[in-house]
C-alpha cells in the first residue's frame, strides 16, 4: 500500500469517526447544523449545549484515551518482544484501577468536588499501582536467562485478576453515593465526560507522547536481545525502565478518566502495521490516530446501540479484541511450526 493512500485512509477513517460521534445520538444534528455550530457558533441553544458541553468533551476523551492506550500497548509489545502484550493482559490496567480506587477510598467522595490537586494525586496513585503491578510481573517472570516472556504473560493475567479482586473490595468500601458511578467507570466508560476530565487527561498525554516520538529509535532497539544490545553498548535496562514509566503514565491517565479499557493496545498496533512498515517514521503517529478512531467508533456504538441505556465500553472492546487475540495466537503457532 502506497504511503499516500495509507495516510489518506487513516485520516478518512478518523474524520468519519468524528462525524458520527458528533452527529449521532438521541438528538440528531444535521451536517449543516454541525458546520454552523463548529465554525459560526450559531444554532439553537439546545444544539449548542449538546455539542459544546457533551459531545465534544466526550469526543476528545475518547480520542485521547484511544491514542494513549494504543501507543502504550505498542511500547509494551516492543519491550517484551511479544505481539500479544497489552496493558490489560499484563496487569497494568488493573494495577492503575486499584491505585485510583484506593485513592477514592482514602479521600472519600471524589466525584462531588475534584480539585486540581486531587486530580494529580489520583493519577499518581494510579501510576504507583500500575508500576507495582508491572514490577511484580517482571520479578515473578525472572529466570537465569532474564525475563521469560511466556511466564510474563501468564503472570500478568494472574496479577490482573488479583488487583481486580482488590479493586472490587475497596470499591465496596467507598462512599455509597459514589459506588454505582465508580462501578460503571471500572467497566470502562466515558459517559460522564466533561471539560474538567479533558483537563485532567490532556496534560499527561501532551507531556509523555512527544517523548515517545523523540526516542522511538531507542524503543525499536529494545526489540533485540539483551546480549545484542550489550555488544553495541546500549543500556537496555535504563531505557526499559524509562519506557515502562512512560507507558504507565499513559495507561494511568486513561484509566482515571475512562476506567479499565482493554484490548485497544493489542488491536491497534497490529492493524496499523498492516498499513505501514515497522521501520516507517509514520508508524507511531498512525498508531495514535488509529487508536483515536477505534475508541471513538466504539464509544459512538455503545452510546447509541441501546439508547437511552449505554453499554460499557469494554463490552464492545471485548467483542473486537477476544476474536482478534485468538486469531493472533493461531497465527503465531503457524509461524512457529513453519520455523520448526
pLDDT, tens digit, 9 for 90 and up, residues 61-115: 999 999 999 999 999 888 877 777 777 777 888 888 888 888 888 876 554 555 6
What pLDDT was estimated at residue 338? Answer: 67
Residues 6+ apart with CB under 8 A from 75: 212, 219, 243, 246, 247
pLDDT band at 148 (very low <50, low <70, confident <90, very high): low
CATH topology classification for 60-332: ABC transporter involved in vitamin B12 uptake, BtuC (1.10.3470)
Question: Could you tell me which residues are beta bridge partners of residue 142?
Answer: 147
| Domain boundaries, given as residue ranges, for the chain | 60-332
Sequential DSSP letters for 47-74: HHHIIIIIIHHHHHHHHHHHHHHHHHHH
* Banded model confidence at residue 284, pLDDT cuts 50, 70, 90: very high
**Does the pLDDT at position 325 exceed 70?**
yes
**pTM value?**
0.85
Asked if residue 6 lies in contact with residue 276, where contact means CB atoms within 8 angstroms, the answer is: yes
The alpha-carbon radius of gyration of the chain (Å, integer) is 20
Cis peptide before 164, with omega less than 30 degrees from 0? no
Cell digits of residue 11: 485520516
What pLDDT, in 10s, does the model give residues 6-58? 778 899 999 999 999 999 887 888 888 888 888 887 778 888 889 998 999 99
Burial track 259-273 (b if 16+ CB lie within 10 A, e otherwise): bbbbbbbbbbbbbbb
Q: In b/e form, how buried is each residue of 6-27, taking b as 16+ CB within 10 angstroms?
A: bbeebeebbeebbeebbbbbee
* Percent with pLDDT over 90 in the chain: 21
Note the pLDDT tens digit of each residue in 307-316: 777 888 888 8
Is residue 86 within 8 Å of 324, Cβ to Cβ?
no
Q: Are 70 and 288 in contact (CB under 8 A)?
A: yes
Residue 336 predicted with pLDDT over 80: no
Query: Given this model, what pLDDT does residue 196 score?
Result: 83
Report helix, strand or coil for 277: coil
Cβ atoms 313, 261 nearer than 8 A: yes
End-to-end Cα separation, the chain, in angstroms: 31
pLDDT one-digit tens code per residue, 230-273: 777 777 778 888 888 888 889 888 887 888 788 898 899 988 98
Burial 232-247 (b: 16+ CB within 10 A, else e): eebebeebbeebbebb
Amino acid at each position: 500500500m502506497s504511503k499516500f493512500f495509507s495516510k489518506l485512509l487513516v485520516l478518512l477513517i478518523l474524520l468519519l469517526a468524528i462525524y458520527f460521534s458528533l452527529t449521532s445520538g438521541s438528538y440528531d444534528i444535521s451536517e449543516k447544523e454541525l458546520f454552523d455550530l463548529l465554525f459560526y457558533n450559531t444554532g439553537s441553544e439546545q444544539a449548542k449545549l449538546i455539542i459544546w458541553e457533551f459531545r465534544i468533551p466526550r469526543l476528545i476523551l475518547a480520542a485521547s484515551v484511544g491514542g494513549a492506550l494504543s501507543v502504550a500497548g505498542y511500547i509494551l509489545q516492543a519491550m517484551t518482544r511479544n505481539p500479544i502484550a497489552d496493558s490489560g493482559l499484563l496487569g497494568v490496567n488493573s494495577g492503575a484501577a486499584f491505585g485510583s480506587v484506593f485513592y477514592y477510598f482514602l479521600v472519600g467522595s471524589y466525584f462531588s468536588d475534584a480539585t486540581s490537586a486531587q486530580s494529580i494525586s489520583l493519577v499518581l496513585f494510579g501510576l504507583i499501582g500500575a508500576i507495582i503491578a508491572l514490577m511484580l510481573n517482571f520479578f515473578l517472570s525472572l529466570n537465569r536467562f532474564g525475563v521469560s516472556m511466556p511466564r510474563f504473560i501468564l503472570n500478568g493475567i494472574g496479577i490482573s485478576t488479583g488487583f481486580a479482586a482488590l479493586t472490587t473490595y475497596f470499591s465496596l468500601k467507598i462512599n455509597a453515593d459514589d459506588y454505582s458511578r465508580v462501578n460503571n467507570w471500572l467497566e470502562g466508560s466515558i459517559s460522564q465526560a466533561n471539560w474538567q476530565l479533558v483537563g485532567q487527561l490532556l496534560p499527561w498525554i501532551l507531556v509523555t507522547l512527544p517523548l515517545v516520538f523523540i526516542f522511538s529509535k531507542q524503543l525499536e532497539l529494545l526489540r533485540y536481545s539483551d546480549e545484542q544490545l550489550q555488544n553495541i553498548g546500549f543500556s537496555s535496562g535504563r531505557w526499559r525502565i524509562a519506557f515502562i514509566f512512560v507507558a504507565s503514565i499513559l495507561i494511568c491517565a486513561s484509566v482515571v478518566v475512562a476506567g479499565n479499557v482493554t484490548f485497544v493496545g493489542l488491536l491497534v498496533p497490529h492493524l496499523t502495521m498492516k498499513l505501514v512498515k515497522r521501520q516507517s517514521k509514520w508508524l507511531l503517529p498512525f498508531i495514535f490516530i488509529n487508536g483515536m478512531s477505534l475508541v471513538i467508533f466504539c464509544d459512538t456504538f455503545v452510546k447509541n446501540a441501546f439508547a437511552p441505556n449505554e453499554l460499557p465500553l469494554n463490552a464492545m472492546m471485548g467483542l473486537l479484541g477476544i476474536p482478534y487475540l485468538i486469531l493472533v495466537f493461531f497465527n503465531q503457532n503457524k509461524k512457529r511450526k513453519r520455523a520448526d
